[in-house]
Amino acid sequence: MKARLTFFLLTSLIFSACKMEQEQTYASYDDYPVYEGDDLGLRYSPGRSVFKLWSPPASALRLRLYQEGLGGEPLQQIDMERGENGVWEAVVEEDIEGQFYTFQAKVDDRWLSEVPDPYAAAVGVNGRRGMVVDFSKTHPEGWEQDRRPPLDNFNDIIVYELHVRDASIHLQSGIQHKGKYLGLTETGTKTPDGASTGLDHMKELGVTHVHLLPVFDFRSVDETQLDENPYNWGYDPQNYNAPEGSYATDPYDGAVRIREFKQMVKAFHDAGIRVIMDVVYNHTGATEESNFNQLVPGYYYRHREDGSFSDAAACGNETASERPMMRKFMIESVLHWVNEYHIDGFRFDLMGIHDIETMNEISDALHEVDPSIFLYGEGWTAGDSPLPENERALKKHTHRLDQIAAFSDDIRDALKGHVFTHDAPGFASGEPGLKESVKFGIVASTEHPQIDYDLVNYSEAPWAGEPSQTITYVSAHDNHTLWDRLRISRPEADEAERIRMHKLALAGVLTAQGVSFLHAGSELLRTKQEVENSYQSPDSINQIDWTRKTQYPDVYDFTRSLIALRRNHPAFRMTSTEQIQQHLRFLDAGDDLLVAYTLTGNANGDDWENIIVVLNGHRSEQEMTLPEGTWTIVMDGASIDESGMRQASAKMKVPASSVMILVKEDAAAQ
Please list the active-site residues. 349, 378
Q: 238 and 221 in contact (C-beta within 8 Å)?
A: no
How far is Cα 457 from Cα 453, in angstroms, rounded to an integer? 9
| Contact indicator for 500, 556 with CB cutoff of 8 Å | no
DSSP of 72-131: S--SEEEE-EE-GGGEEEEEE-S--TT-EEEEEEEETTEE---B--TT--SB-GGGSSEE
568 contacts: CB under 8 Å, gap ≥ 6: 642
How far is Cα 565 from Cα 659, in angstroms, rounded to an integer?
Answer: 13
3 state SS of 601: coil
Query: What angle, rounded to 10 degrees, do the helices at 324-341 and 356-369 form?
Result: 30
Packing angle between helix 553-568 and helix 495-510, nearest 10 degrees?
20
Picking from 117, 100, 107, the residue whose alpha carbon sits closest to that of residue 52 is 117
Q: How far apart are CA 513 and CA 447, in angstroms?
A: 12
3-state secondary structure of 324: helix
| Spatial distance between the Cα atoms of 1 and 659, rounded to a whole number of angstroms | 100
C-beta separation of 416 from 485 below 8 A:
yes
Position 466: which residue type? E
How far is Cα 463 from Cα 445, in angstroms, rounded to an integer? Answer: 6
Q: Helices 435-442 and 409-416: crossing angle, nearest 10°? A: 140
Neighbour tally for 513: CB within 10 Å: 30
Provide CB contacts within 8 A for 284, sequence distance 6+.
236, 237, 238, 290, 291, 292, 293, 300, 317, 319
- Answer for the pair 127, 144: CB distance below 8 angstroms, yes or no: no
DSSP type of residue 8: H
Q: Given CA atoms 522, 528, 529, 530 in this order, what sign does their dihedral have?
A: negative
Measuring CA to CA, which residue among 230, 170, 225, 219 is closest to residue 546?
170
Alpha helices in 490-643 (DSSP H): 495-510, 539-542, 548-551, 553-568, 577-583
Three-state SS for 238? strand
Count of other CB atoms within 10 angstroms of residue 424: 16
Distance CA 406, CA 462 (A): 12
What CA–CA distance (Å, rounded) separates 504 from 427? 9
**CB under 8 Å to 171, separation ≥6 — which residues?**
none
Q: Which DSSP helix (H) or strand (E) runs through 646?
A: strand 646-654
Burial class (CB in 10 A: 0-12, 13-18, 19+), 133: buried
